[in-house]
Amino acid sequence: MGYIVLMVVLGLVAFVLVLGRRVLPREMVLAAAGVVVIMGVITLASAVHQVPAGHIGVTYEFGAIVGQTGDGLQFVS
């Protein structure tokens, strides 16, 4: 839930920066691009999970266990 709220807030900030570009055109567009890059980095960081060596990851789908994953870097689906 926190991720969704953060993305909505950052999206609104980027939108406001793009709308305010009439005041400082180049700076506002660069700031909006920076916010979009930050959103991408946060999305990529929250899309991976490290399963420790010797452990098995459990895959959940709507609260039910649907499979297993091995150790290592795993992408959240």
Q: Which parts of the chain register pLDDT below 50?
A: none
Helix (H), strand (E) at residue 62? none
Provide the pLDDT for residue 23. Answer: 64
The pLDDT, as a whole number, for residue 6 is: 85
Per-residue confidence (pLDDT) for residue 16, from 0 to 100: 80
Show me where the domains of the chain are located.
1-37, 47-77
Which residues, other chains included, contact 66 with Cβ-Cβ below 8 Å and sequence gap of 6+? Answer: 59, 60
- Per-residue pLDDT at 52: 92
pLDDT in the model for residue 55: 92
pLDDT at 53: 92
Other Cβ atoms less than 10 A from the Cβ of 32: the count is 19
Q: Tell me the C-alpha distance between 25 and 28, whole Å.
A: 5
pLDDT at 24: 62
Closest of 38, 39, 37, 35 to residue 16, by C-alpha: 35
